Structure 1
């Protein structure tokens, strides 16, 4: 590794979901090169997620948190201007130069970065290496998937245009955990498996969480918004004739809260609700405590909760995503089905009846692999070749 220290700016205004968990992975790698600064929003600065995922790094002085943004989705110009201003200020003060900028969840910023960033970066004594992380880029598509190509094509073009202006240097997008390809314009990164609990200790987890020790449990977890379709899953339980309780745990959005308030007495007796932000250990225990995790959502990407379930040895049922379908088929960790109550219910019944053997035959994806793929280097500053690492692990 070079002796020259440089600062890494990580831009993530939105604390929702497990975004700050991804920031933590990047920060733990980037601290090898020098100071790491998170640029977030005032909401991000106040969030419980910051303490949970980043508190240890902040406490050790390995991460500085600033909140220059007033909203969780600031305009692209505001983000680029903040980055350029900090690069210029570091040069004026003689501080460690800003060597790299990582924009997390950069799909929206990609649309106008090519137009606004070059002017703002002009005249900087040291231009940073800028990395974009795309969370909604379809890595693998069938030739007949016209909707997917309409989404992927413009993003690839915008990435090339921004790279041509030298205001963007690397673009990375999520792919399935079974995907070993590197990608061409948009490099592919696998969503990590994060789980500190395992289903073999299910009885202990249920006792700690106040869950029925003998009941069949179906779980929806994480940031629980309407896209996770709790009513559809409840209908699927009924369609399959399963004598089960639906466990819904995590931070609810307003629509899910309204759904919960509107449950009649019969359905209310069939659900266990916990509406609050769950720290990692509690969330992991919830995932490991259930018998099956259904993912009935239509965003065509990988799922952090799915990764937790895989690591915990809990079978997954997925509907609405080709990426997740390929992953469960390749890893043997679940069942893909149609987006209907009948199909989801049938898949859940097969899963809990031993229709699959939960596990991760392809090997777990570490947070370190995620961070090195995103930045393109390892902790010694050497180019990171994911294929070489995967091939070594397969031997």
Structure 2
């Protein structure tokens, strides 16, 4: 079940459905009533529509999902974006009352940053306590999403962020030509869904401060209107300073996103929010350098692959320095192969 069709959530749904069908399961996808009309649904689910049953639901509360599981006599019910669901489940008297087992994925283990660090820390403690309570309930399996490059110990079971890379050399060449990514420039890329938490204005100001006239900045992915307004001025100033700016404001196909990650010289992840980045995993598999900033989760990811990635605070001067250093380095080699089987295995 997945009520939220934005971002990469339906990509997760597709991977799980494909894995379940491949092992012989009958699969029911419970989606919001609005999901079928979205571009994301067409992009991610069109290829599996004939092999699964898709139903619409209005209520995705714990009791409603339990009722759905009984209606379809489910052996297992999977909630891929399950942070709020797990916290509600932990507060539910009697626990999971549905049919079969329940598998819940925690997308963000800690609370998102805020103005008051004490409040954020308190929220994180509450989240952790509720996740622990939910994980101890009978017939409940709780997993935490981790970066594809993550290694270490965790208090919960881990589901590694799935990484796919479907493009070939011809796809990359065609994209560079179609988007006019000139070969004589060093290309930085901010890719995927573009929201204010990706800090495009800061990236543009940092690149302008780097005085890199032979550089380019690719912004590719559907832009939130507020984010688009905020970045218009800094991008215009960057263009006036001699850099090339290319903006592709629309939902990218999986092939286009993979080709864009591989086509640019450096992916910039200047994130205000915490949590694993699928683009970090794609870049690591493609051998594309990463400049990360802000989120401490990105600092941890970069620490594991120092030959490919670096991290700095979310600051214009620090980011400028990191982008300058990236331009002076050779293109790195890939640090691991694309892999998504372990993600499905963890949840199914």
- TM-score class, shorter: 0.7 to 0.9
**1:196 pairs with 166, 178, 181, which one?**
166
- Alignment pair present for 1:367 and 2:340: yes
Q: Which residue of 1 aligns with 2:104?
A: 132
Distance change in 2, residues 1:200/1:45 (3 Å): closer
Q: Which residue of 2 aligns with 1:297?
A: 271
Q: Which residue of 1 aligns with 2:315?
A: 340
Cα offset, 1:136, TM superposition: 0.9
Cα offset, 1:147, TM superposition: 7.3
- Encode CA deviations 1:81-132: one digit per residue, 9 max, x unaligned: 3322223333xxxxxx2011111211112222233474782xx6xx321111
Distance change in 2, residues 1:65/1:135 (3 Å): same
TM-score, normalised relative to structure 2: 0.86
Structure 2: distance between partners of 1:120 and 1:192: 27
Q: Which residue of 2 aligns with 1:281?
A: 255
**1:54 pairs with 40, 45, 52, which one?**
45
**2:202 pairs with 226, 232, 257, which one?**
232
TM-score, normalised relative to structure 1: 0.77
Q: Which residue of 1 aligns with 2:302?
A: 328
Q: Which residue of 2 aligns with 1:83?
A: 65
The answer as to whether partners of 1:177 and 1:365 remain within 8 angstroms in 2 is no
**1:66 pairs with 55, 60, 64, which one?**
55
The unaligned stretches of length 5 or more in structure 1 are: 1-10, 91-96, 140-144, 376-395
Q: Which residue of 2 aligns with 1:45?
A: 36
Q: Secondary structure at the match of 1:252?
A: coil
Structure 2: distance between partners of 1:175 and 1:43: 29
Structure 2: distance between partners of 1:333 and 1:104: 29
- Encode CA deviations 1:39-93: one digit per residue, 9 max, x unaligned: 11123221122222221111xx322222213xxxx6xxx4323322223333xxx
- Alignment pair present for 1:172 and 2:143: yes
Cα RMSD (Å): 2.8
Q: Which residue of 1 aligns with 2:4?
A: 14
- Encode CA deviations 1:156-213: one digit per residue, 9 max, x unaligned: 32133334553x61111122333334633x2122212222236898544311333323
Cα offset, 1:264, TM superposition: 7.5
- Alignment pair present for 1:310 and 2:292: no
Alignment of 1:261-280 (within 5 A): 261-262=232-233, 265-268=236-239, 270-280=244-254
The answer as to whether partners of 1:315 and 1:351 remain within 8 angstroms in 2 is yes
Alignment of 1:154-169 (within 5 A): 154-166=126-138, 169=140
Q: Secondary structure at the match of 1:318?
A: strand
Cα offset, 1:12, TM superposition: 1.1
The answer as to whether partners of 2:271 and 2:294 remain within 8 angstroms in 1 is yes
- Alignment pair present for 1:102 and 2:100: no
- Alignment pair present for 1:215 and 2:185: yes
Cα offset, 1:366, TM superposition: 1.4
Q: Which residue of 2 aligns with 1:254?
A: 225
Aligned residues: 337
Structure 2: distance between partners of 1:152 and 1:68: 30
Structure 2: distance between partners of 1:110 and 1:234: 38
Cα offset, 1:355, TM superposition: 6.1
Residues 154-163 or 222-231, more deviating: 154-163
The answer as to whether partners of 1:334 and 1:351 remain within 8 angstroms in 2 is no
Q: Secondary structure at the match of 2:192?
A: strand
Q: Which residue of 2 aligns with 1:385?
A: none
Cα offset, 1:319, TM superposition: 0.8
Structure 2: distance between partners of 1:57 and 1:45: 13
Distance change in 2, residues 1:316/1:264 (3 Å): closer
Structure 1: distance between partners of 2:227 and 2:124: 31
Structure 1: distance between partners of 2:266 and 2:315: 17
Structure 2: distance between partners of 1:294 and 1:355: 16
